[in-house]
Structure 1
């Protein structure tokens, strides 16, 4: 269990704040692209996700993981792209299943998928990229 005094707790709390900012960027842009511009939800979700990943990368690197990557900046950025591409695939799969099988509204599906992908992104960045144990 996470203790409020643990490094993991504090780091998770910071990542939650950074993730919240990134999620607002993702959801706002998804809403604009899908409902206002009329893009298909897959295209809108892909575009909004990419922008939110950029926001998350810079904020997460500075405020959560404090530039403690075990690799150089180029490898770090490529790793983030690979991890978040996997996250995008999870996001799109969860959204598609929710929309097609459960008839969930695309915006609600996007919000639910974001929550699940958030856990993936934090875990893989902490464990693999920044080599910090749980």
Structure 2
């Protein structure tokens, strides 16, 4: 149990968990919006809505500010990095669908994967840099070193 607890405390692991939740949400919203809009518009809508949720989860569970950075400035940095992620996501989706003739179900999954890499590095090194890592409360159910 201690090994599992250490794994779940790891910054990247928490990022992957939040990212997994976000990926499922974005993928689902994409296909919901695609029923009423072009795939490019559906992608933008799904991406934006998903990343509102992702910001909240990332801020709460992955990276936290230990400094007194202005929250508005942090949100602005997040939005700028997010715009880059949207551009990357949109370009990958468009290129794979339009120029490679890939099915959009696969292309969307690949676009999400590329954006995940972008998001981790921009959030870690730009948005939440030098702000510390979120810490999870220690469970009192299992004494340290015992499973």
Q: TM-score range by the shorter chain?
A: 0.7 to 0.9
Q: In structure 2, what is the equivalent of residue 122 of structure 1?
A: 120
Q: 1:69 to 1:24 in 2, by over 3 A?
A: farther
* Partner SS for 1:66: coil
- Report the RMSD for the aligned CA atoms in angstroms: 2.2
Change in 2 beyond 3 A, CA 1:58/1:52:
same
Rg larger in structure: 2
Count of aligned positions: 126
Q: Which of 39, 42, 56 is residue 41 of structure 1 equivalent to?
A: 39
Change (3 A) 1:43 1:70: farther
Partner of residue 78 from structure 1, selected from 76, 79, 97 = 76
Distance in 1 (alpha carbons) for counterparts of 2:47 and 2:78: 13
2:92 to 91, 94, 98: 94
Distance in 1 between residues matched to 2:107 and 2:93, nearest whole Å: 5
Structure 1, unaligned stretches of length 5 or more? none
Assess if the C-alpha contact under 8 Å between 1:25 and 1:51 holds in 2.
no
In structure 2, what is the Cα distance between the partners aligned to 1:16 and 1:70?
26
Structure 2 gap segments, 5+ residues each: 131-147
Aligned twin of 2:28: 28
Confirm or deny: 8 A CA contact 2:22 2:53 kept in the other structure.
yes
Question: Are the equivalent residues in 2 in contact too, given 1:27–1:48 (CA < 8 A)?
Answer: yes
